[in-house]
Chains A and B, each alone.
Chain A
Amino acid sequence: MNFFARLYYKYRQIIKAIQLFLIISGPGIIVMIADNDAGGITTYAATGAKYGYNLNWLIIILIPACYYIQEMTVRLGAVTKRGHAEAIFAGFGSFWGWFSLMDLLIVNWLTMITEFIGMTAALKIFGVPPFLTVIALCVIMGIMVLNGSYWTWEKITLLFCAMNLIYIPGAFMVHPSVAAIIRQGTIPNLPGGLSSDLFFFLMANIGTTIAPWMLFFQQSSVVDKSLKEKDIPWGRVDTFVGSLLTGIVAIFIIIVTGTVLKGVNVDDAAQASVMLMKTNKYIGTFMAIGLFDAGFLGAICISLASSWAFGEVFGWAHSLNYKIKEAPWFYGFYFSLLLSAGAVVLIPKAPLVLITLFVQVVAVTLLPAALVFLILLLNNKKTMGEYTNTLSQNIINITIVVLIIIISSAYGVSTLFPNILK
């Protein structure tokens, strides 16, 4: 009897833990899955097509790197109750504050254009004209935020996150060789030696892993969700699950294109979808749906990251728990970003390729600053108290940050001067 009582007690404990996780989870999973945005899907699709499964090890290494960086935003948000933009203003003064805020606005707006490019390209495959896609998306994204509840928005967004897992059945449908995946993808290797092409792909994969908007989004999201210090352990689990999922999705995309399109040059994910459709209609369709979903998640999170950041600094009411009448500036800003980015895609002969390249360069100006500020803020004992970075956390985080800064800078510079690597 005693054994069964203990078993039941354990069962109740596990159920309670799961329930608590489901309540607290959200910001970490959403930010990580949204990180696999339209640009990310293109990078992974192209990586698989070019190098097969050989670069999967890089994605495996990037999973903990992603976790360590984003975990800091959970602690910072839960302890200071401030978003990243406001934390930079308060911590380093208005010069660095304005620099970060304006840079964030430009990078996010340009990135949103790339998300709309991805979404319109994905739906064009199914015969949906771009103007209809943009209008429908703005309406859907509007409805999602205007319900006046962070909780509802988060749960709807999590459903879209679940849709991002569509690449997993897609990968099983192409019947890849599991032995080849393990043999080629789990041990670090440089297929064909460290050529300029390979170096560019390594940088592109690392560059898409951490984007500046992610830091701002997760911290603001933690604040909007009113997470407290006691919730930090669950926030960590949420972030870890998110980083694991983002890595898994990336690996499965690489498996799909690495199996079916090996040796083919892929310029974008929409092109990869069309090519896959020629082999198997369903796999191509899955790829296109996944691309649309990735762009959708990216657009909704990026526009919110900007609106939260401006709301924090300008002192507007800036929570998804407010109705539009209570937070007109916050929602007005959100919609103006969304509509203007969508409109650019509809301009005939707009330099969309140039915009896509420019995003990578401008992001390089913000990412190092945001990461350095994050480390410095996490070492500020006065505000962080017992949640200040420990020595081991500092060693790990500073190493990751320095590597990301070097590699993303090299990526940005090689985008500006493509011949530099040759």
Chain B
Amino acid sequence: MIRNFLRHNYAKIREINKKYAIPNVEMSAGVKFSLLSLRLYLIFLVTLLLYKFITLVR
């Protein structure tokens, strides 16, 4: 039953990935810049979180 559940959801996730493979927002320079800034911002935040976690564990 669990295997069936996992198989079903794995297939569903693949289907979702396929369905949304091509973004419908035109990737203009402004959009690309916004998404790049967002990636950098998130990398910065995750680094801060990891740093805090490591210093807490130590």
Contact = CB atoms under 8 A, between A and B. Distances in A.
Contact of B20 (A93, A380, A416): A93
A416 B34 CA distance: 26
Contact of B22 (A93, A361, A372, A380): A93
A416 B56 CA distance: 11
B45 A91 contact: no
B49 A382 contact: no
B1 interface: no
Contacts of B49: 361, 416
Interface stretch (A106-114, A241-249, A331-339, A362-370): A362-370
Given A94-B20, A97-B16, A416-B52, 13 more contacts: A89-B19, A90-B20, A90-B24, A94-B17, A361-B49, A364-B45, A365-B46, A369-B38, A369-B42, A375-B34, A380-B24, A412-B45, A416-B49
Interface in B24-44: 24-26, 31, 34-35, 37-38, 41-42
Contact of B41 (A313, A314, A368): A368
Interface of B: 12, 16-17, 19-26, 31, 34-35, 37-38, 41-42, 45-46, 48-49, 52
Contacts of B46: 365
A361 B45 CA distance: 9
B45 A365 contact: yes
A313 B19 CA distance: 10
A380 B25 contact: yes
Given A365-B45, A376-B31, A89 B16 contact: yes
A89 B35 CA distance: 14
A277 interface: no
Given A93-B20, A93-B22, A314-B12, A416 B48 contact: yes
A93 B46 CA distance: 22
Q: Which of A90, A93, A368, A413 has the most CB of B within 10 A?
A: A93
Interface residues of A, number: 28
A92 interface: yes
A91 B25 contact: yes
A383 interface: yes
A377 interface: yes
Given A368-B38, A369-B42, A372-B34, A97 B20 contact: yes
B21 A93 contact: yes
B34 A93 contact: no
* Chain A, interface SS category: helix
Nearest to B22: A93
Contacts of A313: 16
Interface in A88-121: 89-94, 96-97
A413 B48 contact: yes
Contacts of A380: 24-26
B23 A92 contact: yes
A382 B26 contact: yes
Contacts of A93: 20-23
Contacts of B22: 93
24 contacts: A89-B16, A90-B24, A91-B25, A92-B23, A93-B20, A93-B21, A94-B16, A94-B20, A314-B12, A314-B16, A315-B12, A361-B49, A365-B42, A365-B45, A365-B46, A368-B41, A372-B37, A372-B38, A375-B34, A376-B34, A382-B24, A382-B26, A412-B45, A416-B48
A314 B31 CA distance: 26
A417 interface: yes
Contacts of A91: 23-25
Contacts of B25: 91-92, 376-377, 380
Interface string A374-388: 011100101100000
Contacts of B37: 372
A92 B28 CA distance: 12
Nearest to A383: B24
A91 B35 CA distance: 12
A379 B19 CA distance: 23
Contacts of B52: 416-417
Contacts of A376: 25, 31, 34
Given A368-B38, A377-B25, A416-B52, A89 B45 contact: no
Q: Which 4 residue pairs of A and B lie closest in terms of their CB atoms, listed nearest first?
A: A93-B23, A91-B25, A89-B20, A94-B17
Contact of B35 (A92, A97, A364, A365): A92
Interface in A393-422: 409, 412-413, 416-417
